[in-house]
Homo-oligomer: A and B are copies of this chain.
Amino acid sequence: MSRALNFNAGPASLPFAALQRAHEELLDFEGSGMSVMEHSHRGKVYEKVHHEALALVAKHLGLSKDWDVLFVQGGASQAFAQIPLNLLEQGKVADYVVTGAWGEKAVSEARACKTMGAGEVHVAASTEKDKSYVRVPQQSELKLTSAAAYLHCTSNETIHGVQYGLDASTPFPRSGSGDVPVVVDMSSDILSRRVDASQFGLIYAGAQKNIGPSGVTIVAIKKDLVARGRKDLPAIFQYRTHADNQSLYNTPPTFGIYLVRNVLAWVESQGGIASIEARNDKKAAVLYDAIEGSGGFYRCPVDEACRSKMNVVWRLPSPELEDAFVKEAEAQRMIGLKGHRSVGGIRASLYNAVEPAWVDTLASFMKDFAKKRG
């Protein structure tokens, strides 16, 4: 078997070591005569895995004791609603910074929570320009609400390829006051780089890009925010419930969490997040160099300071050339390079598990393709 060069945007490539471990253990987990997914979530065998996974998330995010880590379900899509349900009380306003399609969705779902007893949503800034997003806003552009419930932002926009916090010129947004937590959707760049978690109050992410299969959602939330959350919701929607029960209130997606454990054990074996970051930096540099070195044949629409290291997006001179590019790449086993249907173009997702060698292959394919068709 030879591995495909998987540039999918998510679900995405997983570290082969994590998959191999799952393969070895699938039918008989630790000599128990059962698959890990056949174990009770209330039994010692699974609980060990569960707590190891929770601890690895906390460790690699660099969380203090003031935080809870939760494994919940529904993806970031459900978190778009669950966060305002918990934290946006009636009479309050939540500020949203929109830097792409996922920020738009977060706003839309938060607004729909009003009929469920939530407060108002205010767009503090949007960098939309003709349905395209090519940058993050500066702090001075934000129109913040005083005493907001929270300030929401998207760390990395998977579709538009725009990322926050790449250097000192694009810092994450700050709220108006220490009482107003910053809530960040890190679905597509969680644990891909070192980030100072202390600037946030809540970090959430679907697992299916950097840390596991789809079906597990990570919510890291400061304990004071858990306590502040609405108490008149069904128990299942309250973050309090999952914090109080160490994410074992109801049956969690046990096999998904087991795989998160495997993936984060691999992160550990690679030397932790600093090493992962260095590896990701190099991969992104190879690809952006290939774009910039193409004499204009490839063109990345995103402002240089905000170009995502996770999702590199670019255009070719015509949609026909883009189709040919995707097709020829696929013939060479490079998978997942078609841009999102809403924006077109090309996209290569370079999540943690994407091998540097795959990116090298892609870059040299790009060079050949440009020479042939440019």
Partner-B contacts on A (CB < 8 A): 1-4, 6, 8-14, 16, 19-20, 22-23, 26-28, 32-35, 37-41, 43, 73-78, 80-81, 85, 108-109, 112-113, 115-117, 206, 208, 213-216, 232-237, 249-256, 259, 333, 335-336
CA separation between A327 and B74, bound complex, in Å? Answer: 38
A-B CB proximity, top 7 nearest? A215-B253, A4-B33, A81-B234, A77-B250, A116-B116, A73-B73, A112-B234
Additional A-B contact list (4), CB under 8 Å, known A81-B236, A113-B234, A215-B215: A1-B27, A6-B33, A19-B26, A37-B213
List 25 interface pairs A-B (beta carbons < 8 Å), by A numbering.
Answer: A1-B33, A3-B34, A8-B43, A11-B40, A14-B38, A23-B26, A26-B26, A37-B213, A41-B214, A73-B74, A74-B78, A74-B250, A75-B250, A77-B236, A80-B234, A112-B232, A113-B234, A115-B232, A115-B233, A116-B117, A206-B251, A214-B255, A215-B216, A215-B253, A253-B253
Q: How many copies of the shown chain assemble into the complex?
A: 2
Residue in A8, A37, A216 with the greatest tally of chain B CB atoms within 10 Å: A37
Residues of B contacting A208 with CB < 8 Å?
Answer: 251
Per the bound structure, the CA–CA distance linking A40 and B109 in Å amounts to: 24
Residues from chain B with Cβ under 8 Å of A216 in the complex: 215
